[in-house]
Amino acid sequence: MKILHTGDLHIGMKFNRYPDGIKEKLVKARIDVLAKLVDTANEAGCNIFVVAGDLFENTRISKSLIAEVLLILGHFEGECVLVLPGNHDYDDGINDLWKRFREDRGDKLILLNENKVCHLQPYDLNVDIFPAYCNQKHSDTNNIGWIEQTGIIDPDRINIGIAHGALEGTSADIEGIYYFMSRKQLEDIPLDLWLLGHSHVRYPDVDTVSGSRIFNCGTPEPDGMNYSRQGNAWLLEIREDKTVRAQSVHPGQYKFYDLEWRINTEDDFTGLTNNLIDEDAGNKLVRLNLSGSVDEELLEKRQSFYRAWEDGLFYFSYDDSELRRKASRAIIEREFTHGSFPYRLLQKLADDPEALQTAYEMIRQVK
């Protein structure tokens, strides 16, 4: 049996901090990646398509967007699609999201919004699903407790837990409000496989996995500067002896880079250009923080590099407030009165570039 495991698509995310042309493409990418995942699952001959939470960004999704998502999921050619409400698109029984979703879903789509076993015999699959969905945005307790207490795990069937929450070691949950789960807690429950969502990084963090029982899918389409990896989902194969082999797939279109770069010479600018501008540059979003000290000529020339990066990248922003003018004897002569204390101090330090730069910047701040 084969499964496509994804989650954290956050369809409906607005990206309002970006310019309109960029924003629209980022919004569309989250829909496009779902369609790409369905195609990937069909090509691999998957039996089950799993969304382990946060299919949507929030619970206030328009009917037209829900309909678009359902249309895409309806193209899955396997036996069934399993969708679990996450902490962003939680199901509290009150909001309209999942009511609208249920109204138009096809026969293949199963909404996992109850604390009970979902048997897949009607889909000719020897599988029981144990869901742990989210019924609110935050919780200091995960929702797998009912699975720990159940006595109906059938060893003759394939038993799969699907849960949404922070997996120990994969994301920061300092306050413990994101349905935290430890690996030991999961391992102690005698299920054959756990498919998790919430943390936007994959677990295990390798491309090919054999023998693991716990998988976190990560997000298939990166969504912010705090996410520097490529998008991820899992293709899993469960064998007759219930061992699992998994292959990581990378369906995302865009990549985000939040970079710190120190500049002292033109070669440093050239090296940065070589890092940024490549065959994938048109899909890169870069936020760059520059520091260092450069001579006056290079300080004036820096704008030409910025323009080239802006033209070559999908999105580019920068902060060069820490990129300083390099102190020199010529600058001392031009900026300070002969015989003044700053003049005499800086001339005395002129043969020590590091000390000269430090003193020059301190004096400039005081002025």
Give 296's DSSP letter. Answer: H
Copy the structure tokens of residue 67.
Answer: 């309909």
Q: What is the mean pLDDT of residues 160-184?
A: 87
Say how far apart CA 80 and CA 211 lie, in whole Å: 24
Average pLDDT, the chain: 93
pTM exceeds 0.75: yes
CA torsion, ordered 30, 217, 185, 113, to nearest 10 deg: 40
Pick the CATH number of 2-249 from 3.60.21.10, 3.40.50.2300, 3.30.70.60, 3.40.50.970: 3.60.21.10
pLDDT at 367: 66
- Between 107 and 120, name the one with better pLDDT: 120
360, pLDDT greater than 80: no
316, pLDDT greater than 70: yes
331, pLDDT greater than 90: no
332, pLDDT greater than 90: no
- Between 316 and 107, name the one with better pLDDT: 316
pLDDT at 336: 78
346, pLDDT greater than 80: no
Among 225, 251, 285, 188, which Cα is nearest to 7's? 251
Q: What is the mean pLDDT of residues 181-208?
A: 95
Cα–Cα separations (whole angstroms), residue 128 to 78, 154, 363: 17, 8, 71
pLDDT at 350: 79
pLDDT at 248: 98
35 burial class (0-12, 13-18, 19+ CB within 10 angstroms)? middle
- Between 43 and 292, name the one with better pLDDT: 43
171, pLDDT greater than 80: no
Structure confidence by residue, pLDDT tens digits, 248-262: 999 999 999 999 999
Domain boundaries defined on the chain:
2-249, 255-366
pLDDT at 174: 61
Q: What is the mean pLDDT of residues 202-224?
A: 96
pLDDT at 357: 74
